[in-house]
Chain A
Amino acid sequence: MKFSENQIRLFRNLSVVSGIFTMVIAFTMIMSLIQLKTSDPLEDPALKSIIEQFDKDPENADIAENVRSLDLIARKAYFAARWQLETGSYLLLAGAILFVVFQWLSTGQEKSARGKLPPKPQITEEKERSKKYLIVFSSVFFILAVISSFALRPLLPAPGEAKKGIRSEETGKASAVLPVPDGINYPNFRGEGSRGIAGGEGYPTDWDGNTGKNIKWKVPVPKFGKSSPVIWGDKLFLTGAEGSVFEVYCYDKNTGDLLWTGTGSDFPGASKDVPETDEESGMAIQTPAVNKDAVCAIFANGNLVAYDHNGNLLWAKNLGMPEHTYGYTSSLLIYNDILLVQYDSELRLSVIGFDVKSGKQLWETSRRGKPVNSSPALGMFNGIPQVIINGSPEVTAFDVMTGKELWTINGVVNDVAVSPAVNNNFVYVSANYEALLAIKPDKSGATVGWSDNTYTPDVSSPAATDEFLFISDGTGAIACYKADSKEKLWENYFNSSFYASPIVAGGMVYFLDRDGVMHVVKASATYELVSESSIGEDTDSTPAFSEKRIYIRGEKNLYCISAD
Chain B
Amino acid sequence: MLGTIDLSLVDWSRAQFALTAIYHWFFVPLTLGLSFLIAIMETIYVRTGNEEWKRITKFWMKLFGINFAIGIATGIILEFEFGTNWSNYSWMVGDIFGAPLAIEGIFAFFLESTFIAVMFFGWNKVSKKFHLTSTWLVAFGSNLSALWILVANAWMQYPVGMHFNPGTARSEMLNFWDVLFSPFAVNKFLHTVTSAYVVAALFVLGISAWYLYKKRELLLAKRSIIVAAVFGLISALFLAMTGDGSAYLVAQKQPMKLAAMEGLYHGKKGADLVVFGVLKNDAHKDSLDNFTFNLGIPKLLSALGYKNSNAFVPGIKDLVDGNPKENIMSAGAKIEKGRVALAALASFKEFKKLKNQTKADSALGVFNANSTYMGYGYFDTPESIIPNVPLTFYSFRIMILLGGFFIFLFMLVLYFAMKNKLESKKLLLFITMLSFPLGYLASETGWIVAEVGRQPWAIQDLLPTAVATTHIGTSSVITTFVIFAVLFTALLIAEIKIMISQIKSGPEGGDHV
Note whether A and B form a binding pair.
Answer: no
